[in-house]
Structure 1
Amino acid sequence: MSKIVFLNNEATSKGQLMLLLILPLVLAITAFMLLSLSVIKTGGEKHLEAYEQALQSEGNAAVRPFLDRNGLMAREQALSTEMSRLFMKRALLLSVLLLLCTGYMISRLQKRFYDDIEKASDIVRNMGSCAGMLSVTVEQYAAISSDESASISEITSTTEELSASSTQIAEHAKAVVDTAQKTWEDTKKGATAIESMMMKMAEIQGDSQKSAEEILDLGKKSREITKVMEIINSIADHTKLLAFNAALEASSAGEAGKRFGVVAAEIRRLADSVTESTGEIEGKINEIQEAVNNLAVASEKSSRGIEQGMEFSSQTASLLSDIVEAAHTTMDSAKQISLSTQQQKTANSQVVIALREIMHGASTTSASVESLSTISSQLAALSESLAQILKKLGYKGDVSLPGPAECGVKA
């Protein structure tokens, strides 16, 4: 822009210079032509007036001298001499005026010319200053842009690695969710099985309790049978005693008591048989009572085992319930982690895309910086060329280009 302004100023100055040089010449030529016409017209008019006056005053006698060739030539020579002298005076006056006007114009033009050169010098220095500032700024920005590009590239690589890690974490989180889901379902099935087992054990406990009660009732009845057998044995003993007494009476009665003796013997034999049978029954009852006692002990042990099993099952069910709840909580947490990792994965992908766009922008900026560097070099070269032109034009001022320190820029 400064170059265009300077060229425009230079063209304007040249146009004004040519105009100021041509204008006095045109004025001089115009004045000379007007003065010549004025002199010729004035001399001719005077000559005609003299000729007319001579005709009017002297008549034919006065005309003759004018008609005389020598006289006419003398008059014209005198007239020409007078016109030449008058023309020289006016030309000298016009030349003086022309010289004064030209000197004034030249002084004004010279002042304007040096003012324009001074302005051009300032413009050149400003262009050099701007070129220096632009060059240093471009170098600094190029270094910063290079560092930023390296940092962005490193961040992009790290973010891509983080995105890959997020993908793996998301896959692992999904596997954890699936495992937690299966654990929760299996634990829930185990809790259901424990509840079913506790119900079965409760039924078994009820049956065992009922069996124990029946066994106790059987033992009670066996003891009652023992009492009955004792009564039967007592009756058999008394029967045997009566049969013995009857046999004694029958033997003392002789022939008459012989039949009674046979009956008494049969009764005694029957009583012995009853006693023997009751003994066997008593033995069986004792065995039954022993078995009943064993069954009672076993039933009691079984009841205690069932009670302990139910207690353990209740504790297991409680633990399984806690495990089910914890598994459900773990599953929910795993789902939240999976959702968060998916969101993080999406966010990382978006960050990678944004960083790639930033890298593309940084590349474009680097290309722009290179273009600016080229422009600043061209601007500096142009400033140097303009400074050389100003020196050739005779400018004595300082047209040296400022350095970065003079531009206020730290290299």
Structure 2
Amino acid sequence: MTSVGLGVGTLAVLLTAFGVRAVTRRNLVLDADRGLGDAAERTAALIALVLSDRREQLVQIAIAPTVVAAARAGAAEAVRRGLPGRSVAQLERDFQATRSLDASPEASAYLQQLSRSGEFAEIFVTESHGYTVAGSRRTSDFVQSDEVWWQRAARGEPWRSDPLYDSSAAAVAVEFALPVGGDARLGLGVLKAAFSVRALGAIARSGDTTLNVLALDEADRVIAGAGGAALQRVPWQVPPRADSTVYASSGEGALRLRLAVAAVPGTTWRVVARAPEHVLYATLTRVGRVMIVVTILLLALLYGGVTATGNWLQRRLTSPVAALAGTAAAVAQGDLTRDVVAGSGTGEIADLTRSLDGMVNALRRLVGAIQSSADEAAAMAAQISASTEEMAAAGQEMTGTTQELSRRAQDQAEVVRAAATDATRMLEIAAKLAGQARAAAERNRSLVGLSQQFRSEMQESSAALDGLAAEVEHASGEATALLQASQQIGKFVAQTKAIATQTNMLALNAAIEASRAGESGRGFAVVADEVRKLATQAAQSAAVIEGTVQTVLKRIRGTHESMMRLGAAGDTARRAARSVGDGLAQVADAARENDAWSAEIHRAAEESERLVRDIARRLSDLAAGSENFVASAEEIAASSEEQTASTEEIASSAQALANAADRLGSAVQSFRLQKGPPAQAAD
């Protein structure tokens, strides 16, 4: 007991010591990191403030009247000298000595004074064409308009260069450029200044000697701060840029550094605050040593306290509890004859002794009652089991009877259902037959009407064909008369041609005779010539008329032949129309007889449909009654089965009750209520 308490206490002290050490370490590390982060953030904010102040100062210089006047004077001087039309190379050669227009000595003096104050390493102003007007010292170029910074500032875009090393000033500088007058729309020129970052180095130096703060540009080059060469990359890994402060460690062993990196607002620069971890976390080492000593003292006190407490518990608690445990073990083995002896101990132990004695007495009474109840339950279970067996036999017999009755009723219902289905099919066939008979009667009536209509139409057609035949005969006679007249015209044309030929011969003879007569027959020759021409024209006209008459005769013969064929066809059609009329009369008579026969079939089909419908309705009623009878029989069978199942459950419950009574009797037989060996359980 003492060793267990000592082990538990030692474990608790060690766990507490380790937990306190972990929490203290975490808090100290957070405090140290917070100090690094505060230094980095404070330096970054100060650098941003200094850059903003320098830019604002440069804005004030750009709008100063002296600078504005110098830019305007320089533009006027450049125009006066005709400089805008020259090339850059020519301008650089012309102004190689001064590299400036020197248009405003006042502006040059003003800018030199600003440079001597130490705030700006270099400062100069250009006019609207990009030519240097005045500056704190001689610039490297005269024409600045081809430089990117000048073009951006002339458009009104803010421009700031990356940190550059100024060899003349032996310092790192940052260049700014902005439009003269503060507004690029004025088009006055550009002001450029190089700001020395010495002031940033003073800001980066912290009062805490354990910290080292550096300002780095985008390429991780040192801009300002102690412990780094100007514009040299740092020899350790810097975490990537982030919006919030980033913490990291770099290096190994005693050279391991803790870093806090903060971004400079408005720039791509970063500020790194660093310190050796063994210096930064020195307090953590001292606190750990103190905690080790405190833990050792607590363990010593724990060992002494646990030893004293164990001895006291052995006297006052362990011995009385061991005696009670022996009594409880005997009761657990079924020995209820053992008495509980009260001994020395605390108040709780005395209460436990009295409670255990009362429990043993109650168990004695309970075991006696259980033995008598188990015997009674076994006898009752035997009676219930016998009764349920009789009920189960009767239920099984009833179930068999109802199942046989249900099966026969189902067979009868199937037969009736099949008969009802056949009757339904017969009803459908009868209805279909009645419909078809009705349709046949309708078709016969329609056929009679159509045949009568066609007969009257054929009679009318026959009459029309008779009239057409008469007209054809008349037209044929007219064509014959026209043919004869055309033949007479042909004869007349032939005579005309003969007369024209003779006249032509007479005119020819007259002309010959006139030519023999000489001058006296000249007039007669003219008349003979005209007669000859007239005879020629008459012959030509007669020839044309003869051709026309021949064409007319040919067409008249064709028309006459067509009329004859048409007459023959009309006579044939007239005879066919009479035959069709007679046939349609016979069809109409047959259709009337068929109509009467179809009407009789329709009446018989309707009567059959009514009879089949009555049979189907009676069979449907019989099938419904059979199904109800089957359902009732099935319900009786189900009730019988449920009764049988209930009886079996009662029998099973009775058997379980008997088994439980046997097990209960066997269980309580292991208890001894009197002195002596325990009684054996009956088989």
TM-score range, shorter chain: 0.3 to 0.5
The TM-score normalised by the length of structure 1 is 0.42
Larger RCO: 1 or 2 (CA < 8 Å, sep 6+) = 1
The TM-score normalised by the length of structure 2 is 0.26
Q: Which protein is bigger by CA-based radius of gyration?
A: 1
